[in-house]
């Protein structure tokens, strides 16, 4: 396993940063996760564009241009011989004296690593997952892909403790999104419903790619709020992310969705997405 740290490719075990790094001390940084299929990065321009937006929103200057970052990611994938899995990239404001305000002289820390993972023939994709609803206790700027993920860590653990694979976060009775995924429901009429972007959710790259693929195929998509009750009564429910692609949700809080199996709409959407991603 080869990782990248501030300009060098190094064995993962030797990849180190300072304990004064602001990512470590304050969660002062941003990150991206992108899927890799057949050795290729999926949605790389969306991920790089979002990285730039997140960095701008926290006044963090990226240490490399987006093109250079993509080149480095490709080099890392090649060095690791990665065929299927994901790449992780993180930029923090760097190591400095511990002071809440921005340091004057810190250089951003850039790290990358890859993980091999079965993306296509995963059991969860075929059988669907169970989810637990939890209150969305995150901060107000969920549009920023920030490395402070404690709320998501606690929420995912609540899900795992309830034998679920993901948590759906809920605010004022409406689903915001998954801990690390965008959430969709399919209505009885076959309309896909997902929460509008704004600041309450992350602008998911997989979500965006799927919506575009649906528009091209005249599959109706409505961006509006949906409640937990609506999700429980939906024909099908699914989540999307770079780490699971399109994944059916078959149980919410112990209640089966439809017949409790991954439905035809979700199977088709997963196929459409994989065809595009390959
Ligand atoms: N998470 N919403 C949240 C809160 C997320 O953390 C993610 C991704 C998504 C889906 O976005 P995308 O389709 O661009 O992956 C939605 C990544 C996979 C993670 O933190 O591991």
- Is residue 206 in contact with ligand 1, taking CB distance under 6 Å? yes
Where are the domains positioned within the chain?
Answer: 2-116, 123-277
Active site residue 117: no
Give the predicted TM-score (pTM) of the model. Answer: 0.97
Pair 26, 146: CB distance under 8 Å? no
Atom 20 of ligand 1, residue of closest alpha carbon: 180
Q: What is the pLDDT of residues 158-205, one digit of tens each?
A: 999 999 999 999 999 999 999 999 999 999 999 999 999 987 899 999
Instruction: Give residue 198's pLDDT.
Output: 83
User: Where does the chain show beta strands of DSSP type E?
Assistant: 2-5, 8-11, 29-37, 40-41, 85-92, 109-116, 129-135, 166-171, 174-178, 182-186, 192-194, 221-223, 236-241, 245-252, 255-256
State the Cα–Cα distance between residues 246 and 211, nearest whole angstrom: 12
Instruction: Give residue 152's pLDDT.
Output: 98
Class of domain 2-116: alpha beta
Instruction: Give residue 275's pLDDT.
Output: 93
Atom 9 of ligand 1, residue of closest alpha carbon: 181
Using alpha carbons, select from 127, 117, 129 the residue that is nearest to residue 168. 129
Q: What architecture is domain 123-277?
A: Alpha-Beta Barrel (3.20)
Q: What is the pLDDT of residues 137-159, one digit of tens each?
A: 999 999 999 999 999 999 999 99
278 pLDDT more than 80? no
Residue 145 CA to ligand 1 centre (angstroms):
8
Atom 17 of ligand 1, residue of closest alpha carbon: 180
Q: What is the pLDDT of residues 256-274, one digit of tens each?
A: 999 999 999 999 999 999 9
Instruction: Give residue 97's pLDDT.
Output: 96
- Is residue 92 in contact with ligand 1, taking CB distance under 6 Å? no
């Amino acid at each position: 396993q080869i990782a990248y740290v501030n300009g060098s490719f190094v064995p993962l075990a030797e990849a180190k940063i300072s304990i004064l790094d602001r990512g470590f001390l304050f969660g002062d940084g941003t990150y991206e996760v992108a899927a890799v299929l057949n050795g290729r990065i999926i949605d790389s321009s969306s991920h790089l564009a979002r990285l730039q937006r997140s960095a701008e929103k926290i006044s963090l200057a990226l240490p490399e241009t987006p093109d250079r970052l993509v080149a480095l990611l490709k080099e890392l994938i090649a060095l690791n011989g990665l065929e299927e899995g994901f790449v992780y990239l993180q930029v923090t404001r760097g190591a400095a004296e511990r002071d809440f305000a921005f340091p004057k002289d810190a250089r951003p820390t850039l790290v990358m690593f890859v993980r091999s993972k079965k993306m296509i023939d995963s059991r969860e994709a075929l059988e669907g997952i169970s989810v637990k609803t939890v209150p969305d206790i995150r901060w107000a700027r969920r549009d920023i892909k920030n490395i402070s993920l404690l709320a998501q860590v606690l929420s995912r653990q609540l899900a795992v403790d309830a034998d679920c694979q993901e948590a759906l976060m809920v605010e004022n009775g409406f689903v915001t999104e998954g801990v690390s995924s965008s959430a969709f429901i399919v209505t009885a009429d076959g309309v896909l419903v997902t929460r509008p972007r704004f600041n309450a959710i992350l602008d998911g790259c997989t979500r965006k790619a799927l919506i575009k693929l649906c528009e091209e195929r005249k599959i109706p998509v409505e961006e509006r709020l949906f409640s937990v009750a609506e999700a429980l009564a939906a024909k099908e429910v699914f989540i999307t992310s770079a780490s699971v692609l399109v994944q059916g949700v078959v149980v919410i809080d112990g209640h089966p969705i439809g017949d409790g199996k991954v439905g035809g709409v979700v199977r088709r959407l997963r196929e459409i997405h994989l065809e595009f991603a390959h």
